[in-house]
Chain A
């Protein structure tokens, strides 16, 4: 029983795969439509087009135009209320031929079975994430990113689960599971468990984050290996980008994962047939489901495929960091409430100081001004790079992408000069009380911001908390200025990003030189901006509109005078 126990089918699949060894992607739409129809699926296409805000140098595209092709295998006896999706992104070159071939082979096999209770949609999307976003938006009748797509002619029911395949060669030695999706969202842990269970049953080597599982949990090296794997997941989740086509499904509450085939030149190789059996088993299990996956965790970190850390374990760590901020706020509140005491003799001017009552307009202004100016800088950081890229390209010999990134860095650095300029605006000196009030507001603001971020994307919240909470707690105008300015800059969001890039490369055991790292850092910024405009990733607006102004407030406090 099962796929390819029948020798005829095996031969058919092998012939299909060898035919597909020639590079087909660049999307042979007609060929795909013909083939899918021959296998008995209902075939439809969707056109989409999108002009990126600036050219994407990593994937070399600017004005994207493409076609998605998908075939629906209708369940023979079931009402058309639920569907499963199997997708393979088709990028130019021979990046993913084998996946498309396997998809078609599976389509043919699945067509001959009668136990399907859900429709199965075989999707071949062009321009990977952009095509997938267009298809999902068309399927769910939403338009959140301003893409231009033709409406879908054919539809299944509500999608229960989806898998995305990325096979770059026909010899596979291991399968890698990718879980992290847009904005750090993860599929239900049951999907990962399903994959792992089938890997063990069929005997395929499976990895997560590209790292093999070790058996020696107790030893130091085994433990550090597990920590490295988990840190990789934290890094990937914090970036907020979808690390596979599956990442865009999660927003619609569709559990999805990407399976990547890796050829690492081991001795023991698996072939497409085995992978087909694994996928067949997974789809049969998903077919038997009666509800959406909801029994297991949605928030977890995985140090290996067989272990996980649930939110109940890692959230207290973040909670303790947030408590630091709250304690500091409490301390400031108490300081502000106690009346100013004079140690010399004389009339102690005990005025009923309530701390937050402002006696003059100047006090209120000295609080509001830094707030407003910091947020305006944040808005400038958010909007200027894209708006003024043409002007930048005119005046400087750089490409558009570089223009955008460098404008962003320029605005970021310009923000550092703000306290100087703010104080020139305001006449008079800031009071002792003034900076305390500002710091109270800033600390509470940071606590709320980090709390909300950690709830949505724990890794991002935690990394920001690690770097920002210590300085936020200790910065006052009275600490040594040069040293603390240096520390504040080192721990600012941009530098955190720079260090994360190097750290990420270290974890993947591909350390890079400083120049390469810098270039990678620039490309990460540009990808972040693109992700925001293409798929609605929230990392870029969060950092520029909320975290950066908050950090600027502390910078203001440091240079308070």
Chain B
């Protein structure tokens, strides 16, 4: 009797457990992303732009430390600072003065170097339109379950970013590239960080969904560099990335810090410029987005002794989830109604006087003319 009771309790327990596991399995597979990618670009060359290379390398270091492997990082450095003839500490790139932190390290893998860092290559990486001979390390092989981090640094202006002192990428081109990525289902969510002068102008034109953007300065402001090292003789880092690096050093793969903390990095008192961010295109609430969703490559692991049937229950559970996501998953052609989701700022148009006014003005002028000079002069004109 007791054994029966015990057995029944046991079986109910297992039954309950089984239901829980299947629930959790459902939630497990309906989460957002499954892989992480990072595209880190430094666009300036020349020795005095040391800090841009140091910026990019410090983000590279954080991203690698938090778990994204080199095969999923596309690192583009426009110039070689570590082996520059002017570097008094060859084979190093420092981010803190007094040589506290060498971000070059000994396992840096640069995918695009020197003159390969061009606007064309950058856009081809994003859109995936690379020649078949391109090696894997130079490709962004993301899919619709990838969270991508894109970090750009260099010299920029209102609406453009300068590449290599000879060409520029405009904010319109960038927005169109992201739209191409969205249409080709090349990302799940994308975090765009830019550390240049007037960086906020680069994300003004975005119109694709699931984009979150951060910039180090607003339009009309310059991003400033942090500190020079007197032995090396150049500025080592830009302020925004310096404080971003400090912030990221505290993140570990299991940390639950979210994007709202990232927005608070480098307030105006430290950065002198006003960092900006844009989240209106992002579907989730930034407070629920973990830093490690973009900067790290965190694998969700659930330990269970049960075997789970993955076919039917998952669908049911999925139908219980938000209908929007279902629509997105099943109907490829029916694209997300962009205009419903996005609340764009109305574009500022130059004010023109209304057309009727101009017409009336010219009529008045003609009338006055003919009145003064008489109608007989008409024959001189026509």
In the complex, are the beta carbons of A115 and B48 less than 8 A apart?
A: no
Interface presence of B231 (CB below 8 A): yes
A112-131 residues at the B interface, CB under 8 angstroms: 113-117
In the complex, are the beta carbons of A287 and B86 less than 8 A apart?
A: yes
Interface presence of B375 (CB below 8 A): no
Residues of chain A with a CB closer than 8 A to B46's CB: 290
In the complex, are the beta carbons of A75 and B233 less than 8 A apart?
A: no
The total of chain B residues at the interface (CB under 8 A) is 14
Interface presence of B5 (CB below 8 A): no
Identify 6 residue pairs between A and B in the complex whose beta-carbon atoms are under 8 Å apart, listed by A's number.
Answer: A1-B230, A1-B231, A75-B85, A115-B86, A117-B85, A288-B234
In the complex, are the beta carbons of B88 and A288 less than 8 A apart?
A: no
Residues 515-538 of chain A, each 1 if its beta carbon lies under 8 Å from chain B, else 0: 000000000000000000000000
In the complex, are the beta carbons of B90 and A114 less than 8 A apart?
A: yes
Residues of chain A with a CB closer than 8 A to B231's CB: 1
The total of chain A residues at the interface (CB under 8 A) is 13
Interface presence of B170 (CB below 8 A): no
The 3 A-B residue pairs with the shortest CB-CB distance, nearest first, are A117-B85, A78-B85, A115-B88
Residues 88-125 of chain A, each 1 if its beta carbon lies under 8 Å from chain B, else 0: 00000000000000000000000001111100000000
Complex CA–CA separation, A423 to B230 (angstroms): 77
Interface presence of A284 (CB below 8 A): yes
Interface presence of B47 (CB below 8 A): yes
**B interface with A by C-beta (< 8 Å):** 46-48, 83-88, 90, 230-231, 233-234
Closest Cβ of chain B to A112, distance in Å, is: 11
In the complex, are the beta carbons of B47 and A288 less than 8 A apart?
A: yes
Residues of chain B with a CB closer than 8 A to A395's CB: none
Interface presence of A59 (CB below 8 A): no
Closest Cβ of chain A to B236, distance in Å, is: 15
Residues 283-295 of chain A, each 1 if its beta carbon lies under 8 Å from chain B, else 0: 0100110100000
A260-303 residues at the B interface, CB under 8 angstroms: 284, 287-288, 290
Q: Known: A288-B47, A288-B48, A290-B46. Contact between A115 and B230, CB under 8 A?
A: no
Sample of 16 further A-B pairs with CB below 8 A, known A115-B85, A117-B84, A288-B47: A1-B230, A77-B83, A77-B85, A113-B88, A114-B88, A114-B90, A115-B87, A115-B88, A117-B86, A287-B86, A288-B48, A288-B86, A288-B233, A288-B234, A290-B46, A290-B47
Q: Is the interface of B mostly helix, strand, loop or mixed?
A: loop
Tell me the nearest residue of chain B to A118, going by C-beta.
B85
Tell me the nearest residue of chain A to B90, going by C-beta.
A114
Tell me the nearest residue of chain A to B230, going by C-beta.
A1
Complex CA–CA separation, A114 to B88 (angstroms): 6
Closest Cβ of chain A to B137, distance in Å, is: 27
Complex CA–CA separation, A1 to B232 (angstroms): 10
Complex CA–CA separation, A244 to B165 (angstroms): 37
Closest Cβ of chain A to B114, distance in Å, is: 15
A231-258 residues at the B interface, CB under 8 angstroms: none
Residues of chain A with a CB closer than 8 A to B88's CB: 113-115
Tell me the nearest residue of chain A to B84, going by C-beta.
A117
Residues 58-80 of chain A, each 1 if its beta carbon lies under 8 Å from chain B, else 0: 00000000000000000101100
Residues of chain A with a CB closer than 8 A to B87's CB: 115
Closest Cβ of chain B to A488, distance in Å, is: 58
Closest Cβ of chain B to A314, distance in Å, is: 33
Complex CA–CA separation, A116 to B230 (angstroms): 16
Closest Cβ of chain A to B9, distance in Å, is: 77
In the complex, are the beta carbons of B233 and A284 less than 8 A apart?
A: yes
Residues of chain B with a CB closer than 8 A to A77's CB: 83, 85, 90
A23-71 residues at the B interface, CB under 8 angstroms: none
Residues of chain B with a CB closer than 8 A to A117's CB: 84-86
Complex CA–CA separation, A113 to B88 (angstroms): 8
Closest Cβ of chain B to A198, distance in Å, is: 13
Tell me the nearest residue of chain B to A116, going by C-beta.
B85
Complex CA–CA separation, A78 to B90 (angstroms): 13
Complex CA–CA separation, A113 to B86 (angstroms): 10
Residues of chain B with a CB closer than 8 A to A290's CB: 46-47
Residues of chain A with a CB closer than 8 A to B233's CB: 115, 284, 288
Complex CA–CA separation, A290 to B88 (angstroms): 17
Complex CA–CA separation, A1 to B229 (angstroms): 11
Closest Cβ of chain B to A292, distance in Å, is: 15
Complex CA–CA separation, A77 to B87 (angstroms): 10
Complex CA–CA separation, A113 to B232 (angstroms): 12
Closest Cβ of chain A to B39, distance in Å, is: 28
